[in-house]
Structure 1
Amino acid sequence: MSRSTFTKTIEHTESIERQSQNHAVIILASGLSQRLGQPKQLLVKNGAPLITSMTRLAIATNPQAIVVVIPDSHRLIVSATTELTSQHPTVQIVMNTRADTGMAHSLSLGIETVAAFESTSIDRVLIMGVDQVLLDEPHLTALLAGKHTVVASRYHSWQGLEKHQNRDDTVSDIIGLPLAINYKLLRQWQSELIGDKGLRHLIRELSADQIGEVDNDQLSYDIDTPEQLSFARKQGWLDS
């Protein structure tokens, strides 16, 4: 077999594997950005709203379905996501009328929507936020490649990174989003998602051999405050 034929065979195999991914994606994007003072969903990266950039990353993983949970109180966020659904039939938008009650309700809405899809082949759910501006496709691919019940991201907080620069090695890691989780387990946990009590406290109850981790300190740079936004813009991670 020639090298070119071999390469085409590998690419064809990889294409089939990408097309047969048995996962759904839930993007939690209904936060009210109160500390930031403006909707983080509409911050601009490479000329597009951040919510659009994150949804495109999700699309790149070739899921069965993508559910984007947004607040119902902001017409510009609704407009940006409506454009996405017109271009990509796998994307479905869910309005959260109780965005002020915490992330757990947003996730519960996402789970309900995934459950309503006719597809019975979903075995995992990839859960993402919207403000980790350095999140990339290779990281999502690594999460989905894991074989554990939960495969979560591991990184430091902004404060933790600053301490590491000062050579303080006592800083603990954050185990959090984005993460991939067994779909049946997520359905079982849905009734326990209340207020700000999201998945983290439930994941802690799992045994160590059920949890996989993918390290990526770039995920530490989420955008919650004006100072963090200013820093991200100075670094060129977001458009000015």
Structure 2
Amino acid sequence: MDFAAVLLAAGASRRLGQPKQLLRRDGESLLRRGARLALASGAARTVVVLGARAERLGAELDGLAAQSVLNPDWQDGMASSLATAARALAGFDGAVLVLACDQPALELAHLLALRDGAAAAGCAATEHAGALGVPALISAQLWREATGVRGDRGFGAALAQAPDGAVWRLLAPELELDLDTPADVDAAIARGWLDPL
């Protein structure tokens, strides 16, 4: 299956009070780890969308075969990052794996399962308390709509409205923990998904 990968890493981590992209797991920043896992998934291209602190964060990607792009409108929410990625991938006509760098439990096995699931169903997404979210492998047709989403929205609504059997679901409760608050960081450290601060 021909697909690209997009790592969303543009946010300012305001509620957390520190850049979540620079939190570490096994000595590696979550930003670099996310890009490395995206590359290892078999993606034909990997695009990392940066915004807040772009210059500082970009150094974390040194030596990786990932393309970093700047979302100048990062404060407008996730949709602006998806639109930025869509522009960077102009001309690419395959599916797109979308992932975020703030899921500390993310493993390569999750991404490979999504890849295999999408090969059969067309799309694949991670189930979060009944809703569909990232990481997700979006069909080429749905990805073309990326420039039309607005605000802090992704593809969840479109995936939820897809016909039965059109979206393979990854059941991975560990991916429900993302890093928005200091309590989330404490929980991830307790589970061994983040290095102690």
Q: What TM-score, normalized by structure 1, do the two folds share?
A: 0.76
Instruction: Give the corresponding residue for 2:40.
Output: 60
Which is richer in helix?
1
Structure 1 counterpart of 2:146, which letter?
Answer: Q
Q: Tell me how far 1:200 sits from its aligned partner.
A: 1.4
Q: Tell me how far 1:72 sits from its aligned partner.
A: 4.7
Matched residues in 1 for 2:134 and 2:84: separation?
17
Matched residues in 1 for 2:41 and 2:152: separation?
28
Q: Tell me how far 1:190 sits from its aligned partner.
A: 2.4
Q: Is the aligned partner of 1:148 residue 2:118?
A: no
Matched residues in 2 for 1:54 and 1:35: separation?
21
Residue segments in structure 1 that go unaligned for 5+ positions in a row: 1-20, 157-172
Instruction: Give the corresponding residue for 1:179.
Output: 136
Residue segments in structure 2 that go unaligned for 5+ positions in a row: none
Instruction: Give the corresponding residue for 1:194.
Output: 150
Q: Is the aligned partner of 1:220 residue 2:183?
A: no
Structure 2 counterpart of 1:185, which letter?
Answer: L
Once the two structures are superposed, the pairs formed by residues 73-84 of structure 1 within 5 Å of their partners are: 73-81=53-61, 83=62
Instruction: Give the corresponding residue for 1:170.
Output: none
Matched residues in 1 for 2:153 and 2:102: separation?
19
Once the two structures are superposed, the pairs formed by residues 27-46 of structure 1 within 5 Å of their partners are: 27-46=7-26
Select 1:129's aligned residue among 95, 100, 111.
100
Partners of 2:82 and 2:147 within 8 A in 1 = no
Matched residues in 2 for 1:47 and 1:178: separation?
23
Instruction: Give the corresponding residue for 2:64.
Output: 88
Large movers: runs of 4+ above 4 Å = none
Secondary structure of 1:209 counterpart: coil
Q: Tell me how far 1:111 sits from its aligned partner.
A: 1.4
Q: Can you list the C-alpha shifts for 1:27-67, whole angstroms capped at 9, x where unaligned?
A: 11111111111110010111111100111111111211000
Once the two structures are superposed, the pairs formed by residues 110-125 of structure 1 within 5 Å of their partners are: 110-116=85-91, 122-125=93-96
Structure 1 counterpart of 2:122, which letter?
Answer: T
Matched residues in 2 for 1:75 and 1:51: separation?
13
Instruction: Give the corresponding residue for 1:168.
Output: none
Aligned identity (percent) is 31
Q: What TM-score, normalized by structure 2, do the two folds share?
A: 0.91
Matched residues in 1 for 2:54 and 2:4: separation?
25
Partners of 2:12 and 2:52 within 8 A in 1 = no
User: Which of 93-102 and 200-209 deviates more?
Assistant: 200-209
Which protein has the larger Cα radius of gyration, Structure 1 or Structure 2? Answer: 1
How many residues are matched? 194
Structure 2 counterpart of 1:46, which letter?
Answer: D
Q: Can you list the C-alpha shifts for 1:148-205, whole angstroms capped at 9, x where unaligned?
A: 232111133xxxxxxxxxxxxxxxx231100111113311x12421112321122233
Secondary structure of 1:186 counterpart: helix
